[in-house]
Amino acid sequence: MINRRQAPAIKDAVEFELLLKPYELFTLDNGIPVYVIRSAEQETLQLELVFPAGSWFETESLVATATNFLMKNGSSQHSALEINEMTEYYGAYLNRNAFHENATFTLHCLTKHAAALLPVLQEVILDPVFPEEELGIYTQNMKQKLAVNLQKCEFVANRHIDKYLFGEFHPYGRVSSMEAYDALQAESLRAFYKHHYTYNNCKIFLAGNLPDDIIPLLNKYFGSTQWNGENTLLRPELPILPAEEKKYRIFNDENGVQGAVRIARPFPNRYHPDFSKMLVLNTIFGGYFGSRLMSNIREEKGYTYGINSQLYNFRQASAINIHTEAGRDVCEATVAEVYKELELLQQEIIPEEELSLVRNFMIGSILGDLDGAFQVIQRWKNLILNDLDENYFYNNIRTIKTITAEELQQLAKQYYNREDFYELIVI
Amino acid sequence: MIHFNKFTLSNGLRVIVHEDNTTPMAVVNVLYDVGARDENPAQTGFAHLFEHLMFGGSVNIPEYDEPLQMAGGENNAYTTNDLTNYYIELPAENLETAFWLESDRMLSLAFSEKSLDVQRKVVCEEFKEHYINKPYGDVWHKMRELAYRSHPYRWMTIGKELSHIEDARLDDVKAFFFRHYRPVNAILSVAGKVTTAQVKALAEKWFGDIPAGEKYLRNLPVEPAQTESHLLEVSSKVPLDALYKTYHIYPRQDQRYYTADLISDILSGGGSSRLHQVLVKEKKLFSNIDCSHFGSLDAGLLSIEGKLIKGVKMKDAEKGIQEELDKLQQEVISERELQKVKNRVESMLAFEDMGLLNRANNLAYYELMGDAAFMNREFEHYERVTTADIHNEAQIIFSEKNSNTIHYYAGN
């Protein structure tokens, strides 16, 4: 008869050796670096081109996102429809994204189709024309989408909290608007494109099962010329103007049955020594299912379907942001409980059992995240784009494995003071 | 090709093992053959509420999550109209922890009043977050009721109304557990850095002595063929008019299901698909339009939904859609267009198979349909579809009397 009350022995995750598989680095003829993680198990690959072309670099609102989006919607050779036809015929996905710092194009396809798809990708990156007609449709549709989103309390709350943290003129705090969409001009997009999508600003990240001739192919389509010329981009730090007032209540929908709660404060960026320590404290506080916030506010009180605390990964400055959607009647009670939990971490030392659970959980979760070539290249990309190397990764692991309860309490005393937090409820 | 081994314990628990030595992780997936379709119409949302209660402690283990997190693991679960699925992902060295936890909650739950009380509230907040406090959040409740008259697909997994969840009692919870959560109604699939011998030994050790339970025999009301079109007009505080249409399609294992799936891709799989190209880009009737289908085990619905460009009239938008459907009914599509959507499926299946978790989930799901080996034959069903099949099915599916329509107006 087995004893079901006795947990099976486990290997402590702190004993796991986490290894970040090294990448292969190739350089195309024009100097573009290609970072590669190979795997032979599947018949798929992922190819990503990254440019410093995020909202950081725009001088007019929404230009970075619109440029990135519309690059795929027409070249001098083919219409948007034809470009879509050419990629979709092969069952490929060509996604584009613009973030705060970078803008990306990602191709996912079956290995056997890669050679047929590269010419299309080349056209999208090297030869977009930004047709007026496409811009008109884009603007119209994005405005409609915005109108729908503005009815959602969580969307409105996200916009406001970032504005309080960074100021509305900083790229981290700037928000979209109907007026900004209306002001978009094809000419500005073309100019933004020319300045930012240049060969010397391009980095390529490649993962999966790769055709033998992938590097010659990349050379052929992206490595042979100095496309769009050379442009050195400056990236000055921009002034952050946080709001003076700390406490906000907004009524967005008088019939709303829930409120979006946001409690947030600025925090140093990833280059600061407290950042990796805060990753651990934040996990304990609100970063996993068993966190203090979830245990109290969901599992004990049932105020919400979920509550989390996140640490922003922005480059210039980070922030701690506690966010949840809670029942309308219990929003204020939720805010009070969040502060109670913050203070508890300042006053009482974290029990060894809980700390060791979180260490194991975090290490186990990184082990799972490193499973597969696509995941590994993602890790590398985050390091490389932030001018970091594997030492940063291994230092974080060391922090998770060795940080003490005393250090965490110290950290809480420094960063978990309620007067430093912005507090917002949007109903 | 996904390799696996399969065996059944003496209590009827079906076990599937997928060995993959390239990962340091293991996934333990337990699928229970019960979903929202098995609920009493007066107690909807129960299967999903129950899923929450599965985390409230079991008979010998007061806390489910803590020991798992201590072992470096993560877990989650989902409930659909057809089934309930629980999964754990953890370092393979700690595999036994997952067996210990999953077997104890299959043996029996703790059935705590406190857990029921809290999870009722949590699920009510989930209901509000996704279906009440969102523009258009109620539309699928309305659509299911419009399209189904008998079959339990007429309510959503979350439940028909908040009161059904609020009224759930502990006795109902117990009865539900012992009716559905028995080895004979479950499938265990284990994937990752494991061996079949190891899984066999662990399965025997932890699940072997759980009483088999009675096989649940599903006897659901059959949805009669729809004989006339249904229309519902709604006005709500939303910024844009929206149009929703659905059509009855086929059960998951009917060959015609695959034809319907490809039809939905022809209409809206990507930027080059017909509805997007014609109605968003050329005619500018919609700011977005999508076609999808339930993918359910019993006969589901194929849906077309879009938000109208401000100023466009509902009847013009509807006419735009109808013209595209007429085209599919009148003209046989080209071999190239058919090949495109088949290529899309081939690629999608390949990407799905990349994740260990997906492979474990899917093996259990195909086993539920009769045999895990079906997973490796899925693409053959798509390959078999011809342009003539698409043409024939378009006439049947998109016949007026098979349609359900919601005009969702922006009002106050």
Could you tell me how many residues make up chain B?
412
Q: For strand A247-250 and strand A258-267, is the pairing parallel, antiparallel, or unpaired?
A: unpaired
Model pLDDT, residue A40: 87
d(CA B202, CA B199): 5
Question: Within a 13 Å sphere around the CA of A234, how many CA atoms are in the beta-carbon half?
Answer: 3
Mark B180-196 as b/e (b = at least 16 C-beta within 10 Å).
bbbbbbbbbbbbbbbeb
Shortest Cα–Cα distance, B250 to chain A (Å): 25
Contact criterion met (CB below 8 Å) for A107 and A46? yes
d(CA A308, CA A284): 11
B193 in contact with A, Cβ within 8 Å:
no
Mean pLDDT of A99-105: 97
Interface test with A, best of B101, B115, B133, B277 (most A CBs within 10 A): B133
Give the nearest chain A residue to B347 (CA atoms).
Answer: A91
Contact criterion met (CB below 8 Å) for A76 and A201? no
Chain A residue numbers touching B237 (CB-CB < 8 A): 151, 253, 255
- Tell me the residue type at A393: F
Partner residue opposite A371 with nearest CB, options B59, B339, B356: B356
Tell me chain A's radius of gyration from C-alpha atoms: 24
Hey, CA dihedral for B128, B131, B135, B138, is it positive or negative? Answer: negative
Shortest Cα–Cα distance, A365 to chain B (Å): 7
Nearest to A14 by CA among A421, A360, A408: A360
CB contact under 8 A, B23 and A372: yes
User: Taking a contact as any Cβ pair under 8 Å apart, which residues of chain A between 71 and 90 contact chain B?
Assistant: 80-81, 84-85, 88-90
Shortest Cα–Cα distance, B129 to chain A (Å): 7
Nearest to B84 by CA among B299, B365, B312, B302: B365
d(CA B151, CA B144): 10
Chain A residue numbers touching B273 (CB-CB < 8 A): 88
Across the A:B interface, residue pairs with CB atoms under 8 Å apart total 209
Angle (CA) B312 B317 B318, round 5°: 150
Contact criterion met (CB below 8 Å) for A380 and A205? yes
Model pLDDT, residue B412: 66
User: Taking a contact as any Cβ pair under 8 Å apart, which residues of chain A between 11 and 30 contact chain B?
Assistant: 11, 13, 16
d(CA A375, CA A398): 21
Contact criterion met (CB below 8 Å) for A286 and A292? yes
User: Taking a contact as any Cβ pair under 8 Å apart, which residues of chain A between 345 and 364 contact chain B?
Assistant: 356-358, 360-361, 363-364
pLDDT under 50 in chain B at which residues?
none
d(CA A380, CA A2): 45
User: Taking a contact as any Cβ pair under 8 Å apart, which residues of chain A between 407 and 426 contact chain B?
Assistant: none
Coil, helix or strand for A53? coil
The residues facing B248 across adjacent strands are: B301
Whether residue A15 is predicted with pLDDT greater than 90 in this model: the reply is: no
For residue A227, what are the CA distances in angstroms to A52, A123, B364? 16, 12, 50
d(CA B379, CA A338): 50
Partner residue opposite A85 with nearest CB, options B25, B272, B281: B272
Coil, helix or strand for A78? coil
Chain B residue numbers touching A298 (CB-CB < 8 A): 118, 122
Model pLDDT, residue A254: 87
The more confidently predicted of residues A224 and A235 is: A224
SS3 content of chain B, % helix, strand, coil (to 5): 45, 20, 35
Model pLDDT, residue B1: 87
Shortest Cα–Cα distance, A14 to chain B (Å): 9
d(CA B239, CA A160): 21
Chain A residue numbers touching B73 (CB-CB < 8 A): 361, 364
The residues facing A33 across adjacent strands are: A27
d(CA B101, CA B58): 8
For A183-243, give the DSSP string: H--HHHHHHHHHHHS-GGG-EEEEEES--TTHHHHHIIIIISS-TT---PPP---------
Percent of chain A clearing pLDDT 70 (strictly above): 100
SS3 content of chain A, % helix, strand, coil (to 5): 45, 20, 35
Interface test with B, best of A110, A143, A357, A426 (most B CBs within 10 A): A357
Mean pLDDT of A226-246: 92
d(CA B102, CA B80): 20
d(CA A5, CA B107): 13
Question: Within a 13 Å sphere around the CA of B115, how many CA atoms are in the beta-carbon half?
Answer: 19
Model pLDDT, residue B200: 98
Structure confidence by residue, pLDDT tens digits, A280-299 = 999 999 999 999 999 999 99
A401-410 LR contacts (CB < 8 Å, sep 24+)? A401/A14, A401/A359, A401/A363, A403/A277, A403/A280, A405/A349, A405/A350, A405/A351, A405/A352, A405/A355, A406/A349, A407/A277, A408/A277, A408/A280, A408/A281, A408/A284, A408/A345, A408/A350, A408/A355, A409/A345, A409/A346, A409/A348, A409/A349, A409/A350
CB contact under 8 A, A326 and B125: yes
CB contact under 8 A, A84 and B272: yes
Q: Which two tokens stand for residue B168?
A: 């759930």
Whether residue A371 is predicted with pLDDT greater than 90 in this model: the reply is: no
d(CA B406, CA A12): 55
Chain B residue numbers touching A44 (CB-CB < 8 A): 347, 350-351, 354
Mean pLDDT of A112-132: 97
Chain B residue numbers touching A41 (CB-CB < 8 A): 22
CB contact under 8 A, B66 and A357: yes
Hey, CA dihedral for A185, A187, A193, A195, is it positive or negative? Answer: negative
CB contact under 8 A, A257 and B132: yes
Coil, helix or strand for B7? strand
Average pLDDT score, chain A: 96
Structure confidence by residue, pLDDT tens digits, A161-194 = 999 999 999 999 999 999 999 999 999 999 999 9
Coil, helix or strand for A169? coil
The domains located in chain A, with CATH, are 24-223 (3.30.830.10), 247-426 (3.30.830.10)
Contact criterion met (CB below 8 Å) for B105 and B60? no
d(CA B86, CA B186): 11
The domains located in chain B, with CATH, are 5-207 (3.30.830.10), 230-410 (3.30.830.10)
User: Taking a contact as any Cβ pair under 8 Å apart, which residues of chain A between 373 and 402 contact chain B?
Assistant: 374
d(CA B322, CA B313): 14
Report the interhelical angle of A373-385 vs A390-402 (nearest 10°): 100
d(CA A71, CA A154): 30
Chain B residue numbers touching A365 (CB-CB < 8 A): 72, 74
CB contact under 8 A, B133 and A257: yes
Give the nearest chain A residue to B123 (CA atoms).
Answer: A305
CA–chain centroid gap for A160, Å, is: 19
E strands present in B20-99: 25-32, 74-79, 84-91
CB contact under 8 A, A371 and B24: yes
User: Taking a contact as any Cβ pair under 8 Å apart, which residues of chain A between 282 and 321 contact chain B?
Assistant: 288-290, 298-305
Burial degree of B215 (CB within 10 A; 0-12, 13-18, 19+): exposed
d(CA B355, CA B191): 11
Could you tell me how many residues make up chain A?
427
Contact criterion met (CB below 8 Å) for B91 and A367? yes
Q: Which two tokens stand for residue A412?
A: 């809480």
Task: Record the pTM.
Answer: 0.95
Chain B residue numbers touching A325 (CB-CB < 8 A): 125, 129, 133
CB contact under 8 A, B118 and A301: yes
Residue B61: CB partners within 8 Å, gap ≥ 6?
A: A4, A5, A7, B67, B100, B101, B104, B105
